[in-house]
């Protein structure tokens, strides 16, 4: 049902993701087409609690499409976890006569947004922005493609030195409790062994695979380690392997926050533009607490509670593919 939306607010929250700026730009520019005023909230829920809102005009979002980070700033708010904090946030939005909010973030952000809507009735629309790609209801999250590209580029560089020295490298990537980043990085960089949360891989299996590779005259190897895997971090896995294969010359690289920065890829810019647009239209269409996402090539609305609660399936055939191609 079409709603009379006059003023909306937008904010970025949780870990930043490349493409957040492009998302806010799409929100502001879409809204301008319908004469809707947009207010930017500084530093996510923290700014909402403190009433740090400022009007965003169409020229305020010029020249940010290509920038990493988030010009609105972001935070993980402890205060918003309390009823007192959420109450103060609702008062701020009421003071500015905000008809609906657009939350750009991940799991934690949407958990808070869902609760906030249920407590205060202020419509909250989520846009999935996280390098982890761990949200149900969208094939991809904004920032994931860029983070994969960054990790692949890093592994390409490590490959040069690994090959020169005939070394075994363990490369740790982010992803929190999901292995999407690790798996896509492995395929994109030609690494055949992956430790990730969705599959129990044992040190025994890795040792067997490395021995086989060695027999096939593979002189160097790259192992991708997702930070959330069951065995431990890359240092720990490397130490366990070294005990079993002391003859291997091993090294560890943790890519870390490099994966969160940088200019968004073309795909992330496209996704950010489409989902930013879809979020404003969702508010206008009367949606109250959904996440906008992509299913195939189509916009999909998923209740926020489902987006955070349901487990997004990882395609384990891709792991087989990584192993087969890195023979």
Cβ-proximal residues to 94 (8 Å cutoff; 6+ apart), any chain = none
Question: What SS3 state is found at 51?
Answer: coil
- Helix, strand, coil share of the chain (percent; to 5): 45, 20, 35
Q: Which of 159, 167, 176, 199 binds ligand F6P (CB under 6 A)?
A: 176
130 binds ligand F6P (CB under 6 A): yes
Residue nearer to ligand F6P on the CB measure, 176 or 199: 176
Q: Which of 16, 99, 132, 145 is catalytic?
A: 132
Residue nearer to ligand F6P on the CB measure, 254 or 321: 254
Q: How many helices (H) and strands (E) does the chain have?
A: 11, 11
Shortest CA distance to 13 belongs to which of 25, 4, 23, 5?
A: 23
* Residue 181 contacts residue 144 (beta carbons within 8 Å): yes
86 binds ligand F6P (CB under 6 A): no
Q: Which of 38, 131, 162, 294 binds ligand F6P (CB under 6 A)?
A: 131
Residues in contact with ligand F6P, shown as a per-residue x/- string from 192 to 231 under the rule CB under 6 A = -----------------------------------x----
Name the minimum Å distance from CB 181 to ligand F6P: 7
Cα–Cα distance between 207 and 168 in angstroms, integer? Answer: 12
Shortest CA distance to 143 belongs to which of 231, 257, 314?
A: 257
Residue nearer to ligand F6P on the CB measure, 166 or 235: 235
15 binds ligand F6P (CB under 6 A): yes
Name the minimum Å distance from CB 14 to ligand F6P: 6
Residue nearer to ligand F6P on the CB measure, 98 or 173: 173
Half-sphere exposure of 323 (CA within 13 A, CB side): 15
Name the minimum Å distance from CB 44 to ligand F6P: 13
Q: Which of 19, 40, 47, 106 binds ligand F6P (CB under 6 A)?
A: 106
Residue nearer to ligand F6P on the CB measure, 138 or 221: 138
What beta strand segments (E) does the chain contain? 7-12, 37-41, 53-56, 100-105, 124-128, 168-173, 193-195, 221-226, 250-254, 289-295, 298-303
| DSSP structure string for 65-103 | TT--S-TT-----SGGGSHHHHHHHHHHHHHTT--EEEE
Q: Which of residues 244-273 bind ligand F6P (CB under 6 A)?
A: 260
- Give the binding range for ligand F6P (CB under 6 A) out of 45-53, 125-133, 161-169, 239-247: 125-133
Question: What SS3 state is found at 241?
Answer: helix
Asked about 16 being catalytic, the answer comes back as: no
Written as six digits, the tokens of 51 are 């009433």
Name the minimum Å distance from CB 232 to ligand F6P: 15
174 binds ligand F6P (CB under 6 A): yes
Summarize as ranges the residues that interact with ligand F6P (CB under 6 A). Answer: 15, 106, 130-132, 174-176, 227, 260
Residues assigned a catalytic role: 132
């Amino acid at each position: 049902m079409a709603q009379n939306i006059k003023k909306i607010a937008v904010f970025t929250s949780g870990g930043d993701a490349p493409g957040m700026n492009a998302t806010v730009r799409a929100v502001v520019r879409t809204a301008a087409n319908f004469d809707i005023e947009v207010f930017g909230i500084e530093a996510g829920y923290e700014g909402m609690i403190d009433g740090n809102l400022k009007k965003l005009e169409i020229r305020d979002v010029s020249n940010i499409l290509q920038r990493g980070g988030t010009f609105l700033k972001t935070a993980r708010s402890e205060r918003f976890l309390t009823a007192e904090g959420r109450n103060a946030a609702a008062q701020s939005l009421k003071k500015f006569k905000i008809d609906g909010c657009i939350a750009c973030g991940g799991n934690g952000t949407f958990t808070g947004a869902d609760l906030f809507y249920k407590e205060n009735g202020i419509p909250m629309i989520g846009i999935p922005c996280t390098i982890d790609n761990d949200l149900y209801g969208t094939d991809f999250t904004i920032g994931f493609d860029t983070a994969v590209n960054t990790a692949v580029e890093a592994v390409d560089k490590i490959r040069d030195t690994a090959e020169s020295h005939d070394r075994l490298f363990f490369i740790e990537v982010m992803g929190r409790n999901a292995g999407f980043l690790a798996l896509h990085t492995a395929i994109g960089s030609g690494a055949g062994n992956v430790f990730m949360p969705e599959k129990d891989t044992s040190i025994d299996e890795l040792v067997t695979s490395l021995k086989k590779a060695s027999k096939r005259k593979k002189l160097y190897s790259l192992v991708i380690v997702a930070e959330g895997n069951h065995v431990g971090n890359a240092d720990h896995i490397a130490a366990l392997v070294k005990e079993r294969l002391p003859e291997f010359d091993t090294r560890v690289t943790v890519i870390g926050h490099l994966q969160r920065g940088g200019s968004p890829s073309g795909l992330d810019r496209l996704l950010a533009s489409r989902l930013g647009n879809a979020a404003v239209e969702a508010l206008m269409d009367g949606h109250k607490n959904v996440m906008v996402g992509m299913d195939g090539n189509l916009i999909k609305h998923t209740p926020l509670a489902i987006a955070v609660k349901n487990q997004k399936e990882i395609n384990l055939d891709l792991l087989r593919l990584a192993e087969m191609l890195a023979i």
